[in-house]
Amino acid sequence: MDFIAIDFETANRYPNSACSLGIVYVDNQTIKDEKYFLIRPPIMNFDPNHIRVHGLTADDVTHAPSFKDVWEIIKADFTDTMIIAHNAYFDMSVLKACLKEYQIPVPDMSYCCSIPISNRAIKGERVKQSLKERTNFFGIQIEEHHHALADARACAELVLKSMEATGQHSFTEFQHAHPTLPVKRLSELKPMNSFSKEKKTAGKKFSQSIKIGDVTPTKEVDESNLLYGKTFVFTGDLDSMERIDAMQLVVNFGGILKSSVSKKTDYLIIGTQDQALVSGKGISSKEIKARELQENGSPIKMLDETHFLRLLSEAKQSSSIKQ
């Protein structure tokens, strides 16, 4: 088998609450088999926001097998084959959390995300990173978005189209042609403890689930650009764009993304904070840390959205490569 594409849906914001799983098996550039499972979570707590996304309720999975039972059926497939998911950090966090829930040993498996895979094929086009946007770019139709099997199939087709666009005939060839592709081990993953409570796209791929190591340049980087080598940290939500898109712009200018503020941070980009998640001071822990560093002489710059957009404009003007 060349690779397997998977997609989980969850009952609530906790990653061990998998309620469905889609699996698509690919070999010789062809989808060879598909499997779909409804899963009974360990706690039957279905968040209304998640129900609105995938349409599954507690009634749908009352008589479904547990993840432990499903794993007995599929575990042999997850040892020697590359596993791919769209926004893999989410799905791999769910997989690892479910394994932990039932005290199942973590398999020795590799995985990759279809976002950096498709980055190698879109050749600098401005395409957002959602599964819907990426598949639309390649003319792939998703029959029922947020149905686990439909999304797994769309992920598989996205990878196949990416391989076709770059002239490779297997995922192994694709890896060799793109040695910087981030292939990771499930055993080394530090999964999320929970996903965001409130997002417009509730139930699945949230800004908190962004794995910054997966945000890679989608075009040639100009080393003379004023942002090249500068370290950026984001906190809060931006009004003019999704955080993932802002991160992509930074990386395309040669910036470096980090998840936490330190003495090495050059810019902290501050968006609107969810007051339910920040301290009593109304600001995030990242901003508190940045202010402390400034008081101790650190040159870190804190920019609101307006000044961040201005910085991007200046970076574009300073670049010798058209962005």
**109 in a structural domain:** yes
Tell me if 323 is assigned to some domain: no
Which range among 32-36, 75-79, 213-217 shows the weakest confidence by mean pLDDT?
213-217
Is 201 a residue whose pLDDT tops 70? Answer: no
pLDDT band at 208 (very low <50, low <70, confident <90, very high): very low
Closest CA to 196 of 212, 209, 211: 209
Whether the model clears a pTM of 0.75, i.e. scores above it, the answer is: no
Mean pLDDT within 83-102: 95
Q: Is residue 37 included in any domain, yes or no? A: yes
Flag whether pLDDT at 96 surpasses 50: yes
Task: For residues 56 and 179, state if they share a domain.
Answer: yes
The answer to whether residues 290 and 160 belong to one domain is no
Residue written as token pair 């794993």: 71
Q: Among 187, 212, 237, identify where a domain stops.
A: 212
CA dihedral 310, 314, 317, 322 (to 10 degrees): -70
What is the overall mean pLDDT for the chain? 88
Per-residue pLDDT, 247: 92
Q: Say yes or no to pLDDT of 220 above 90.
A: no
What is the separation of C-alpha 72 from the centre of its chain, rounded to a whole number of angstroms?
27
pLDDT at 236: 85
Confidence band of 207 (pLDDT split at 50, 70, 90): very low
Please check whether residues 60 and 151 belong to one and the same domain: yes
Closest to 21 measured CA to CA, from 4, 1, 42, 38: 38
pLDDT in tens, 253-288: 999 999 999 999 999 999 877 655 655 556 888 999
- pLDDT score at 199: 37
Both 23 and 102 in a single domain? yes
Q: Is 34 in a helix, a strand, or coil?
A: strand
- Inform me whether the pLDDT recorded for 129 exceeds 90: no
The pLDDT-based confidence of 322 (bands split at 50, 70, 90) is low
Q: In terms of C-beta density within 10 A (0-12 exposed, 13-18 middle, 19 or more buried), how is residue 137 classed?
A: middle
Is there a single domain that holds both residue 137 and residue 286?
no
Q: What is the CATH number of the domain that holds 271?
A: 3.40.50.10190
Residues 243 and 144 in one domain: no
179 and 290 in a single domain? The answer is no
The mean pLDDT of 72-80, rounded to a whole number, is: 93
Q: Distances in Å between the alpha carbon of 89 and those of 2, 110, 240, 255, 312?
A: 21, 13, 25, 22, 28
Same domain, 148 and 271: no
* pLDDT of amino acid 323: 54
- Residue 177 sits in a domain of what CATH number? 3.30.420.10
- Give the pLDDT of residue 196: 55
In a domain, 187, yes or no: yes
151 and 195 part of one domain: yes
The pLDDT, as a whole number, for residue 272 is 78
Report, as an integer, the average pLDDT of 289-300: 94
154-165 in b/e burial notation, b at 16+ Cβ within 10 A?
bbbbbbbbbbee
Same domain, 30 and 88: yes
Together in a domain, 107 and 243 = no
Percent of the chain scored above 90 by pLDDT?
Answer: 68
Number of structural domains (the chain) is: 2
**From 102-106, 169-173, 187-191, the region with the lowest mean pLDDT:** 187-191
Give the pLDDT confidence score for residue 278 in this predicted structure.
Answer: 56
Residues 207 and 65 in one domain: yes
User: Does residue 115 fall inside a structural domain?
Assistant: yes
Residue 197: is its pLDDT beyond 70? Answer: no
Give residue 218's pLDDT band: very low, low, confident or very high (50, 70, 90): confident
Among 157, 184, 212, the domain boundary falls at: 212
Q: Which of 157-161, 204-208, 215-219, 312-316 has the lowest mean pLDDT?
A: 204-208
Domain of 142 in residue numbering reads as 3-212
Whether the pLDDT of residue 123 is over 80: the answer is: no
Mean pLDDT of 108-115: 94
Domain boundary among 212, 244, 268: 212
pLDDT of residue 31: 97
